[in-house]
Amino acid sequence: MLIDAHCHLDFPDFDVDREAVFERARAVGVEHFVVPGTTRARWPSVLALGRRVDTSVCLGLHPYFLDDHCVNASRFDPHRLGARQLDGDDDLVALEAALDAHPEVVAVGECGIDARFENTLGAQWVLFKAQLRIAKARHLPVVIHCVHANDQVAKCLKEVGLPAGGLIHAFAGSLQQAQRFLALGFVLGLGGAVTHERAQRLRRCVAALPEDGFVLETDSPDMPPAGFKGERNEPARLARIAADVAALRHISRATLEKATTANAVRVFRLAG
């Protein structure tokens, strides 16, 4: 059994053939799916998927969609206010209410920092730290989007001290950075990037990770494995990722499946 620990199956990309996507995944041994939230507007679609027995869900506010979030302007750098941040509503308050109303939610996320967008970094940090506080108060794990900010995010997580750890989604850093996250109680999400031959630093890191330090994910519909550039990604491709990770670690797929399933079950407190 494989678990896709991070896939956006609520996205419109899957509206035409969503059930077929699930069926193709099951056909190659992917039997459970963790779907993160990205914006408040998408939470209802995420929660609807959470009614499936094979799907667990998270709720959060993704840094990439900063302009879609409605957050009290007083929380933010006055030089960066999203278009919806002036209407008097507050998505962070809504997030707390949604988590309290839906105990089936397994984590807060997807949240984090994307340092590619330097002009929004101040606002990103405010939004990220607020979600960390929300997760800490509820003893929930967090699902973290971290691009070009591994060291800064690790420092922040150490300062906050989250009791339930979480997932560093789409990890692509060094072994030293990986070890910092592991020491803080996090697991690393390994996806399509590890299948690319040019990702030699990441592949060396994957080979050296402890057995309990990582899970597998597709980030569908994004981040397809090597050989599928430009195509919509989907959870069935987790089998390719599993094969490459097993080969890098010189273990069988069965051994890899057992370890990564146990890791995902532990982090997200999934039913056994």
Query: Which residue ranges are tagged as binding site for a divalent metal cation?
Result: 6, 8, 110, 145, 169, 219
Q: Give the whole-angstrom CA distance, residue 145 versus residue 79.
A: 23
CB 193 within 8 A of CB 199: yes
In degrees rounded to 5, what are phi and psi of residue 55? -135, 130
Q: Hey, how many other C-beta atoms are within 10 angstroms of the C-beta on 74?
A: 6
Q: Give the whole-angstrom CA distance, residue 2 versus residue 256.
A: 9
Q: What residues form the annotated binding site?
A: 6, 8, 110, 145, 169, 219
Q: Give the whole-angstrom CA distance, residue 80 versus residue 189.
A: 30
Q: Give me 158's structure tokens.
A: 């150490």
Peptide bond into 221 cis (omega under 30): yes
Nearest one of 117, 13, 137, 4 to 62, comparing CA atoms: 117
User: Cα-atom radius of gyration of the chain, to the nearest Å?
Assistant: 18
Residues present in the chain in total: 272
Q: Give the whole-angstrom CA distance, residue 153 versus residue 156.
A: 5
